[in-house]
């Protein structure tokens, strides 16, 4: 096997598709800050894409009883969440006046319409939200229906507990794991990886809420959402409720 590069003429820009990537920002106003708004959200969508890739892999590895590989993938998503949290710090440099200079250009577009965010929540196990907002795009709607019907990451964790012989409730199973961590070390580590993931996800949600509050106060959000009130409600949702509940029972 030769040590030569397979594509010796491939440049950095070609490999990354930079011509398409850097041409994807198209502000609709003359506002200086609109480019910041676009790039923050585009970058977030790229990080979410990677999170979906990693969590899908982790789910499949858990189903195959390969927890070591799953741990690495889940831990990576927790670090991605750190990047997403910090992105709100950058967006928060935008003042209310800066935002309102281009807000009319957004029309009815809203982060609520992010199909990748919805897929991420479904993949983690929160399948309470509907997908009607995506009905106008049959391809995306069909894809989300498939993700909604498929086992989530947490579904596979619960199936793993059953394969390990835990016949009682999910609450009772996790309580046994936490009371006997040495005996069930890999399940204990899995649980803590999930708790860390949820902790960072909630930090991301909270940072989003506070950034929106800082910029638009309690006005109605774009796309008809309740803005801060809508984001506050999302903070009440837990992906892995039994793993939080077990802390009270230990």
Instruction: Report pLDDT digits (tens) over 71-109.
Output: 999 999 999 999 999 999 999 999 999 999 999 999 888
Do the annotations mark residue 248 as ligand-binding? no
Q: Residue 223: what pLDDT? A: 62
d(CA 221, CA 118): 18
Do the annotations mark residue 41 as ligand-binding? yes
Q: How far is CA 161 from CA 15, 171, 188, 198, in A?
A: 42, 11, 11, 19
Phi, psi of 196 (to 5 degrees): -65, -40
Do the annotations mark residue 93 as ligand-binding? no
- 3-state SS of 2-58 is CCCCCCCCCCHHHHHCHHHHCCCCCCCCCCCCHHHHHHHHHHHHHHHHHHHHHHHHH
Q: Residue 4: what pLDDT? A: 64
d(CA 54, CA 76): 8
Prediction pTM value: 0.92
Do the annotations mark residue 117 as ligand-binding? no
Q: Residue 3: what pLDDT? A: 56
The alpha carbons of the chain give a radius of gyration, in whole angstroms, of 21
- Encode pLDDT of 153-172 as tens digits: 999 999 999 999 998 899 99
Do the annotations mark residue 154 as ligand-binding? no
Do the annotations mark residue 222 as ligand-binding? yes
Answer yes or no: are the C-beta atoms of 61 and 75 closer than 8 Å.
no
- Low-confidence residues in the chain, pLDDT < 70: 1-4, 221-226
Answer yes or no: are the C-beta atoms of 201 and 239 closer than 8 Å.
yes
Among the listed residues 57, 43, 138, 132, the one whose alpha carbon sits nearest the alpha carbon of residue 91: 43
Q: Residue 162: what pLDDT? A: 97
- Domains observed in the chain: 32-247 (1.20.58.480)
Q: Residue 1: what pLDDT? A: 47
Q: Residue 130: what pLDDT? A: 82
Q: Residue 218: what pLDDT? A: 84
Do the annotations mark residue 140 as ligand-binding? no
DSSP 137: -
Answer yes or no: are the C-beta atoms of 160 and 62 closer than 8 Å.
yes
Do the annotations mark residue 15 as ligand-binding? no
Do the annotations mark residue 239 as ligand-binding? no
Helical H runs in the chain?
A: 12-16, 18-21, 34-63, 67-91, 96-100, 115-124, 138-149, 153-163, 170-179, 185-216, 228-234, 241-249
């Amino acid at each position: 096997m030769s040590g030569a590069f397979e594509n010796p003429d491939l440049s950095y820009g070609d490999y990354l598709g930079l011509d398409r990537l850097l041409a994807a920002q198209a502000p609709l106003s003359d506002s200086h800050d609109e480019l910041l708004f676009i790039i923050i959200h585009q970058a977030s969508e790229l990080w979410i894409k990677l999170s979906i890739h990693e969590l899908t892999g982790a789910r499949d590895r858990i189903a195959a009883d390969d927890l070591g590989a799953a741990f690495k993938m889940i831990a990576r998503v927790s670090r991605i969440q750190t990047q997403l949290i910090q992105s709100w710090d950058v967006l928060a440099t935008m003042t209310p006046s800066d935002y309102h200079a281009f807000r009319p250009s957004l029309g009815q577009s809203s982060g609520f319409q992010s199909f990748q965010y919805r897929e991420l929540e479904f993949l983690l196990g929160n399948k309470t939200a509907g997908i009607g907002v995506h009905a106008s795009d049959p391809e995306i709607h069909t894809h989300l229906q498939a993700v909604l019907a498929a086992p989530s990451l947490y579904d596979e964790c619960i199936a793993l507990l059953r394969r390990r012989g835990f016949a009682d409730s999910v609450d009772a199973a996790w309580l046994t794991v936490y009371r006997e961590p040495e005996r069930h070390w890999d399940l204990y580590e899995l649980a803590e990886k999930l708790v860390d993931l949820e902790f960072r996800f909630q930090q991301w949600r909270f940072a989003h809420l506070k950034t929106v509050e800082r910029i638009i106060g309690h006005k109605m959000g774009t796309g008809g959402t309740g803005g801060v009130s809508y984001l506050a409600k999302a903070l009440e949702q837990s992906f892995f409720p039994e793993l939080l509940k077990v802390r009270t029972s230990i």
